[in-house]
Chain A
């Protein structure tokens, strides 16, 4: 059974250690036919750190995010995750099924368009990661409701997504990303479809629920104002890291 698969790797360290990066990518390459999306990217992401990834369209930002998150497998290189609860492992060496299991227990996602399911209510969207991990529905719903209240969504649990504003929808997405207490949260243009005031609120919610709790946040963005709120800004161009500063 996939969820209980023991993931072994030479990088493995004892569970409970924190003096290492939450995520560490080494010499990642990824090509799509003749297009080189990543040409050897190395990056370390530390616990309690918010990192903005910037770059022009086609610079490889989203591909890097997808490789770090185990959505895509890189052509070469390593992506080592250190989850204090589960030890360390190299995502690049895992098959699709194992990467899915890692995404479920260690990562959270907030994308521009939320990846929320319009058929479900707000709270049902939030409970999904818990129920996928085998948590009983009532317990999952109670936990989801607490996260929603934390993010200012109390009373909106039973609303369908169409009945929520853009900012509220993104906060539902943040609640869903946080509900399983992931080590790293990945956000791809999380404020791309929002006005500047709502954008500020969403980033504030995202940062307080991740960095301020000692988790790692990776944000792919075009918006310098969003990047400013992060601790580090990594610039990509032509599939390579061209700048990495605080």
Chain B
């Protein structure tokens, strides 16, 4: 052995690690990293553009006195804007959460290795925050530009008797800055909080020992919350004022969507376990087994892919009932202001569902791309085993599509339970409501299929130049 190195003096390792030296090294990443970093930036850009548009629109409905709307209708418009805001908040928050997770997902392996080497927690937190915050900020800046480009188009939408105009879509500076601060702040806080498991159990993360579990207790909590929502709906008549009624409705919708988001992974695990237990033979059974095992490996990750469609299914019941209500109202003898309100209700519902679908399409596409990178080892191993590419594609689709139908059905039923006390059974079972549910499900399935298909070139790229497993 060469004596040169062995004669080196022992280095003094009692100094403080320098972030300015380590950050360029560790945040630079490899070529694959640089490609996959586009995903969180894209996700943050989409969520920023949509959130700013929604915030601008909501502000417009809270300032209706400036456009001369009768004061007796201003409260109704404001209430409807709040309802739309809540309906859109959950998919937007889910997309924001996805963007955060995407910005930190390749981080854990790197940081847990460093933790094993003895890196202090403080340094890991700083590196994480720097990485997540930087990606979020880049995405937010692109999103602001996207919002400004989108604003003239959204400004052509007609409300209160005419096009609302570009200025109405762009939020005021304080609201815009608040939105940006919340988005970047969420990324930074989530990055720091998510680091806990890396810092405490470096081996658990490094060797993927931590199970991403979901507990049956969640189902019980879900039933209790849905029951409470239903009871709240029945007691709505006793609300003393419009404000209280609006708050109750907003709370009901928010709670329903939150319950779905929290309990989805448990439902997926349940469905996939049944799938694993099923027998069968041939390529179909292999695809089913692989798809189910992929879901069981991380039900939360798969839920993030299907949650958007589940949310839209939930919302579609409310949308359908809303449209049916608008039609019902349109049939009576009405004042010009009533006619305008009904038209605006219909426009608002369609706009809300369009934004929800835009969020959904962005979320699913970004997740489908991220999933190719995350499951790189699995796909490379299956490819090396000789699995036909077509079967790999089928497996990728099945991971998402198999649980989707049941998840959407459960979401639609939950939506019906929420809206039933408000509108009555007639509106829930109205053909328009059912059409909205079926339409949302069909569109959702189409979006999922297209998103998985759109990321096929990425899979091909990964299989042709797999990164070394080091």
Residues of A within 8 A of B (CB): 1-4, 66, 71-72, 85, 96-97, 100-105, 107, 109, 113-120, 124, 128-137, 140, 143, 146-147, 149-150, 160-162, 169, 178-181, 205, 208-209, 212-213
List 11 additional contacts besides A113-B469, A137-B18; criterion CB under 8 Å: A1-B16, A3-B13, A103-B116, A109-B116, A116-B470, A117-B470, A129-B13, A132-B114, A150-B6, A181-B10, A208-B1
| Bound complex: CA A160 to CA B468 (Å) | 10
- In the bound complex, residues from chain A placing their C-beta under 8 Å from that of B8 are 143, 146-147, 181
- Assuming the contacts A104-B118, A105-B118, asked whether A150 and B17 have C-beta atoms less than 8 A apart, the reply is no
Are B118's CB and A146's CB within 8 A? no
- In the bound complex, residues from chain A placing their C-beta under 8 Å from that of B162 are none
**0/1 string, B235-267, CB within 8 A of A gives 1:** 000000000000000000000000000000000
Tell me whether B206 is interfacial, beta carbon within 8 Å.
Answer: yes
B27-35, B175-183, B291-299: which lies at the A interface?
B27-35
Question: Can you pick out 6 interface pairs between chain A and chain B where the beta carbons lie within 8 Å of each other?
Answer: A100-B118, A101-B120, A107-B118, A114-B470, A132-B117, A133-B14
- Complex A-B, nearest 7 residue pairs according to Cβ-Cβ distance, in ascending order: A134-B15, A104-B118, A133-B13, A150-B5, A103-B118, A208-B1, A162-B468
Shortest beta-carbon distance from A95 to chain B in Å: 10
Tell me whether B275 is interfacial, beta carbon within 8 Å.
Answer: no
- In the bound complex, residues from chain B placing their C-beta under 8 Å from that of A161 are 468, 470
**Interfacial residues of chain B within 13-50, with CB under 8 A of chain A in the complex:** 13-18, 21-22, 25-26, 28-30, 33
Are A146's CB and B5's CB within 8 A? yes
Are B113's CB and A115's CB within 8 A? yes
Are A129's CB and B4's CB within 8 A? no
Are B116's CB and A135's CB within 8 A? no
Are B17's CB and A71's CB within 8 A? no
Tell me whether B119 is interfacial, beta carbon within 8 Å.
Answer: yes
Are B116's CB and A71's CB within 8 A? yes
| Bound complex: CA A118 to CA B199 (Å) | 20
The number of residues on chain B lying at the interface, defined by a beta carbon within 8 Å of a beta carbon of chain A, is: 44
| Bound complex: CA A117 to CA B13 (Å) | 21
| Bound complex: CA A133 to CA B21 (Å) | 12
| Bound complex: CA A209 to CA B17 (Å) | 26
Are A120's CB and B468's CB within 8 A? no
Are A119's CB and B17's CB within 8 A? no
- In the bound complex, residues from chain A placing their C-beta under 8 Å from that of B13 are 3, 104-105, 129-130, 132-135, 180
- In the bound complex, residues from chain A placing their C-beta under 8 Å from that of B10 are 85, 180-181
- In the bound complex, residues from chain A placing their C-beta under 8 Å from that of B117 are 103-104, 109, 115, 128-129, 132
Are A119's CB and B118's CB within 8 A? no
Are B110's CB and A128's CB within 8 A? no
| Bound complex: CA A150 to CA B7 (Å) | 11
Are A133's CB and B206's CB within 8 A? no
Shortest beta-carbon distance from A56 to chain B in Å: 19
Report which residue of B8, B117, B122 has the largest number of chain A beta carbons within 10 angstroms of its beta carbon: B117
